């Protein structure tokens, strides 16, 4: 019997309960054993060289490799054993399903892990709560949806310290929840000791989204066999747009507390320029990602996670749209209304950061760091290319 067929038979013979793996992890294990014999996709991304360092795949290995996968789709479209072949090898889909499980199982507090599974509802409730809160507060201050123009002074409605306290508390909780979740993941995947070189390489891979280049530089597969760099580019617009918005808030905070320069700032000021550039990035990136998501090949990824993907993209889009609209209308009688909408959306985004799609960036970064550490260690099997 062909070696691959033997492996398929062995893997199918292992019931998930016998290995201690969940059904979805068992499917990744089955597929990885086939891939380990085939190795056609070795140059596509970090998953395959990391895989070749192992002959057996325990739960921690599967969690690590699942989060190392960027879901670029290349290994699905290149695979001679992909469906409808009887081996039904679909690496990106199997990895995506396990990733969804890992986000929930490493969530902090653990009881909140279920929010990932019902993420569409979670985002909808957070958005409704955020909008209701800030619309009611605005109505209390201004007495109506429209008011006498306030020369772009947001703090005439919400004092700076009130906003700093509210958003600082929610963002602080989101940061804490994500840190504690990824810390447990990090411990369980036993990363080893990090060198400066490994850290710098991983940071470079994260910042460039290196593994969305398909391994050949031409990009991912999205809807079909054609390669496209658009997914990488739209991720960059989103990621750097998000960072620029953060930088704008950081600079405005320094202006306020250190320099004693309260808002509103001129259109030519650094906080407004950074915020505008970030807002445009957060408009182009999520719009493009939503378009790609809608066209995505049905065999790529996990259909059950589409509400989570699209909910997060929608929140990012609403954040940039409402922020740019607020900037454009800040000198008008509608400033309070648009301020309430923008703050409500941002609050919903922050509230759902630790329990939605944002988590993929954190867990993938941790896996990329482990890979940069691992590839520098001697390969005990001496079978891989790294
Ligand atoms: S995805 Fe398919 S072609 Fe690629 S290594 Fe696995 S079995 Fe081979
Ligand atoms: S989908 Fe892309 S990133 Fe994931 S394992 Fe396949 S080639 Fe690697």
- The tens digit of pLDDT for each residue in 72-131 reads 999 999 999 999 999 999 999 999 999 999 999 999 999 999 999 889 999 999 999 999
Distance separating alpha carbons of residues 161 and 148, to the nearest angstrom = 23
Task: Please compute the mean of the pLDDT values over residues 169-186 and round it to a whole number.
Answer: 97
Nearest protein Cα to ligand 2, atom 8: 45
Q: What is the pLDDT of residue 6?
A: 53
Task: Please compute the mean of the pLDDT values over residues 337-357 and round it to a whole number.
Answer: 97
Pocket test for ligand 2, best of 73, 89, 205, 371 (most atoms within 8 A of CB): 73
Residues at CB less than 6 angstroms from ligand 2: 41, 44-45, 47, 69-75, 91-92, 95, 211
Average pLDDT value over all residues in the chain? 92
Among candidate residues 1, 46, 125, 15, the one with its CA nearest the CA of residue 364: 46
Q: What is the pLDDT of residue 18?
A: 58
Q: Is there a cis peptide before residue 348, judged by omega within 30 degrees of 0? A: no
Pocket test for ligand 2, best of 34, 79, 209, 211 (most atoms within 8 A of CB): 211
Model confidence over 281-290: pLDDT tens digits? 999 999 999 9
Q: What is the pLDDT of residue 322?
A: 97
- Where residue 8 falls among pLDDT bands split at 50, 70, 90? low
R_g over Cα of the chain: 23
| Among 307-316, 342-351, 373-382, the least confident range | 373-382
Tell whether the model's pLDDT for residue 13 goes beyond 60. Answer: no
Tell whether the model's pLDDT for residue 148 goes beyond 80. Answer: yes
Phi–psi pair at 227, nearest 5 degrees: -90, 150
- Where residue 347 falls among pLDDT bands split at 50, 70, 90? very high
Q: What is the pLDDT of residue 215?
A: 85
Q: What is the 3-state secondary structure (H, E, C) of the chain?
A: CCHHHHHHHHHHHCCHHHHCCCHHHHHHHHHHHHHHHHCCCCCCCCHHHHHCCCCCCCHHHHHHHHHHCCCCCHHHHCCCCCCCCCCCCCHHHHHHHHHHHHHHHCCCCHHHHHHHHCHHHHHHHHHHHHHHHHHHHHHHHHCCCCCCCCCCCHHHCCCHHHHHHHHHHHHHHHHHHHHHHHHHHHHHCCCCCCCHHHHHHHHHHHHHCHHHCCCCCCCEECCCCCEECHHHHHHHHHHHHHHHHHHHHHHHHHHHHCCCCCCCCCCCCHHHHHHHHHHHHHHHHHHHHHHHHHHCCCCCCCHHHHHHHHHHHHHHHHHHHHHHHHHHHCCCCCHHHHHHHHHHHHHHHHHHHHHCCCHHHHHHHHHHHHHHHHCCCCCCCCCCCC
Pocket test for ligand 2, best of 28, 47, 97 (most atoms within 8 A of CB): 47
Task: Please compute the mean of the pLDDT values over residues 166-179 and round it to a whole number.
Answer: 97
Task: Please compute the mean of the pLDDT values over residues 11-40 and round it to a whole number.
Answer: 83
Model confidence over 33-86: pLDDT tens digits? 999 999 999 999 999 999 999 999 999 999 999 999 999 999 999 999 999 999
- The structural domains of the chain, with segments of one domain joined by +, span 110-194+211-357
Q: What is the pLDDT of residue 382?
A: 63
Model confidence over 187-211: pLDDT tens digits? 999 878 899 999 999 999 999 999 9
Q: What is the pLDDT of residue 384?
A: 47
């Amino acid at each position: 019997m062909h070696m691959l067929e033997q492996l398929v038979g062995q893997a199918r013979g292992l019931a998930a309960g016998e290995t201690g793996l969940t059904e979805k992890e068992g499917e990744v294990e089955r597929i990885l054993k086939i891939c380990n014999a085939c190795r056609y996709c070795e140059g596509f991304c970090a998953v395959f060289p990391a895989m070749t360092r192992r002959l057996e795949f325990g739960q921690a290995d599967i969690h690590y490799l699942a989060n190392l996968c960027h879901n670029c789709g290349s290994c699905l479209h290149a695979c001679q054993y992909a469906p409808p072949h009887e081996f039904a090898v679909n690496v990106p889909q199997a990895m995506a399903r396990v990733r969804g499980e890992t986000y929930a199982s490493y969530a902090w507090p653990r009881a909140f892990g279920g929010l990932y599974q019902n993420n569409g509802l979670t985002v909808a409730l957070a958005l409704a709560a955020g909008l209701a809160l800030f619309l009611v507060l605005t109505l209390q201050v201004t007495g109506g949806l429209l008011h006498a123009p306030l020369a772009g002074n947001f703090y005439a409605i919400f004092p700076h310290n009130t906003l700093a306290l509210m958003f600082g508390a929610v963002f602080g909780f989101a940061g804490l929840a994500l840190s504690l979740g990824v810390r447990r993941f990090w411990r369980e995947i036993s990363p080893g000791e990090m060198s400066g070189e490994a850290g710098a390489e991983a940071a470079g891979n994260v910042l460039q989204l290196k593994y969305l280049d398909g391994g050949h530089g031409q990009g991912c597969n999205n809807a079909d066999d054609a390669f496209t760099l658009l997914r990488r580019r739209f991720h960059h617009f989103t990621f750097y747009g998000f960072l620029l918005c953060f930088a704008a808030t950081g600079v405005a905070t320094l202006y306020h507390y250190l320099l004693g320069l309260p808002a509103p700032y001129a259109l030519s000021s650094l906080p407004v320029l950074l915020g505008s550039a970030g807002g445009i990035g957060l408009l182009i990136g999520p719009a493009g990602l939503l378009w790609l998501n809608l066209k995505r090949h049905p065999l790529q990824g996990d259909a059950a996670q589409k509400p989570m993907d699209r909910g997060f993209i929608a929140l990012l889009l609403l954040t940039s749209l409402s922020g740019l609209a607020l900037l454009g209308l800040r000198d008008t009688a509608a400033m309070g209304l648009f301020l309430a909408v923008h703050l409500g959306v941002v609050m919903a985004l922050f509230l759902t950061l630790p329990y939605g799609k944002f988590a993929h960036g954190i867990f993938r970064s941790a896996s990329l760091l482990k890979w940069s550490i691992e590839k520098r260690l001697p390969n005990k099997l001496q079978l891989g290319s790294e």
